[in-house]
Amino acid sequence: MANADHPVARAPLLLVTGMSGAGRSTALKALEDNGFEVVDNLPLSLLKRLLAVHDKTQTGSDSDRPLAVGIDARTHAFDAESVVSHIKSMRERGFDARVLFIDCAGGELVRRFSETRRRHPLALDRPAADGIAREREVMAPLRRWADIVIDTTDFSVHDLRRTIREKFARHLRGELTLTVMSFGFARGLPRDADMVFDMRFLANPHWQPNLRPLTGKDEAVGRYVAADPAYVDAFERISGLVLSLIPSYRREGKAYLTIAIGCTGGRHRSVFVAERLAETIRAAGYTLNIVHRDMSGHSEGVEAESFALPDHGERLPA
């Protein structure tokens, strides 16, 4: 039998929830493709029974696959506060239980419902915007308490699937999923960033005609940025802080950590610093993902209003 010093291992549980039309079903399919056992639209009254079947103390090694359970405001007897309490209780009993919330801006949700000609489940006889507002209010406790939030406002179906794969591939091995991301402030802050560092104090390669067409991955841009007198001290302080915090995040049970490095357009300074930071973190023995959100967009130095949303192709359905 298990005791307090040697707790029984239990397969991870991921509760997948979020706004209707934000892409929850796509996320569940992507999780299934990445090794999760998936159950959708499960009444809350049956969740406890399902977990009992999935518990290693009763089913042995067959329960090693992590479990993803999809619920939303349409779930029978749904109450966000009670779901939060239930997850807290499960954690106290030794379950690795986490919450993934799929979110999306209201205007984009309205567009998706309009294009698919579907009615919002909480506003069958009213405009979709009414249902979205009501659902956001109902889901607020889960949104606040979620371990990870993925905002699909500017996502295609492929973007969401890729994000799920990047964030959860190592969840199967119980590791902290680290992501270093470069971005441009002109296109907005990354919505899932845990730490944000601003590189706009460094000399901007955009103003050098020979460097403007390049990116932070090019050696000439790297030399230019690293030559700024403020670079070395700032980078040492940032990398030291990050490396000192990662073990604490792991100790507290955080599964996902995104470190975002920003500059004006996300093409030069942030890319270079993000690449150097990723190298430093890897040298310390960690595995990570690196994402350059805006590197392929416009050059730095362009005002925010000149940026148009990228063409994502296939958009997420409602």
Known binding residue 199? Answer is no
Known binding residue 195? Answer is no
Known binding residue 21? Answer is yes
**CA-wise closest residue to 18 among 77, 76, 80:** 80
Known binding residue 74? Answer is yes
Whole-angstrom Cα Rg for the chain = 22
Three-class SS string for the chain? CCCCCCCCCCCCEEEEEECCCCCHHHHHHHHHHCCCEEEECCCHHHHHHHHHHHCHHHHHHHHHCCEEEECCCCCCCCCHHHHHHHHHHHHHCCCCEEEEEEECCHHHHHHHHHHHCCCCCCCCCCCHHHHHHHHHHHHHHHHHHCCEEEECCCCEHHHHHHHHHHHHCCHHHCCCEEEEEEEEHHHCCCCCCCEEEECCCCCCHHHCCCCCCCCCCCHHHHHHHHCCCCHHHHHHHHHHHHHHHHHHHHHCCCCEEEEEEEECCCCCHHHHHHHHHHHHHHHCCCCEEEEECCCCCCCCCCCHHHCCCCCCCCECCC
Known binding residue 20? Answer is yes
Known binding residue 25? Answer is yes
Place of tokens 């966000």: 80
Known binding residue 19? Answer is yes
Known binding residue 280? Answer is no
State the Cα angle at 297 between 100 and 238, rounded to 5°. 60
Known binding residue 223? Answer is no
Known binding residue 237? Answer is no
| Cβ(200)–Cβ(264) below 8 Å | yes
Annotated binding residues for ATP: 18-25
Annotated binding residues for GTP: 72-75
Annotated binding residues: 18-25, 72-75
